[in-house]
Amino acid sequence: MNWLLVIVGGMVGAPLRHLTDRAVRSRSDATFPWGTFTVNVVGCLILGTLTGAATAGAASSHLQLLLGTGLCGALSTYSTFSYETLRLAEDGARFHAAVNAVASVVAGLGAAFAGVAAADALWA
Sequence ranges of the binding site for Na(+): 73, 76
Binding-site sequence positions: 73, 76
How far is the C-alpha of 12 from the C-alpha of 7, rounded, in Å?
A: 9
Estimate the crossing angle of helix 34-55 against helix 94-123, to 10 degrees: 30
Would you give the end-to-end CA distance of the chain in angstroms? Answer: 30
Please choose, from the candidates 96, 94, 70, 100, the residue with its C-alpha nearest in 3D space to the C-alpha of residue 82: 100
